Amino acid sequence: MQERPYVISIAGFDPSGGAGLLSDCKTFEQSKVMGLGVCTALTLQTASQCISLEWRLLDEVIKAIQVLMENYPVSAVKIGIVKDAEFLDEIIKTVKIGNPEVKIVWDPVLKSTSEFTFFDLETLPQLKPVVNKLSLITPNYNEYSVLKENNLLPDTNKCSLLIKGGHREDHLGTDILVENEKETLLLPVEDCQLLFPKHGSGCVLSSAITAELAKGENMETACRNGKLYIEKFLKSNPSLLGTHS
Angle at 181 between CA 178 and CA 186, to 5 degrees: 25
Total count of residues recorded for the chain:
245
Q: Report how far apart, in Å, the C-alpha atoms of 110 and of each of 63, 102, 188 are.
A: 25, 24, 25
**Residue 242 pLDDT > 70:** yes
Q: Report how far apart, in Å, the C-alpha atoms of 223 and of each of 50, 113, 161, 230 are.
A: 28, 22, 10, 10
Distance between start and end Cα atoms, the chain: 23
Please name the residues in contact with 185: beta carbons below 8 A apart, sequence gap of 6 or more: 174, 175, 176
What φ, ψ does residue 161 adopt, rounded to 5°?
-130, 125
Return the HEC string of 55-113: ECCHHHHHHHHHHHHHHCCEEEEEECCCCCHHHHHHHHHHHHHHCCCCEEEECCCCECC
Per-residue pLDDT reduced to its tens digit, 117-165: 889 989 999 998 999 999 999 999 889 999 999 999 999 999 999 999 8
Calculate the average pLDDT of the chain.
93
* Residue 52: strand pairing partners: 44
**Residue 220 pLDDT > 80:** yes
Rounded-to-integer distance, Cα 30 and Cα 78, Å: 16
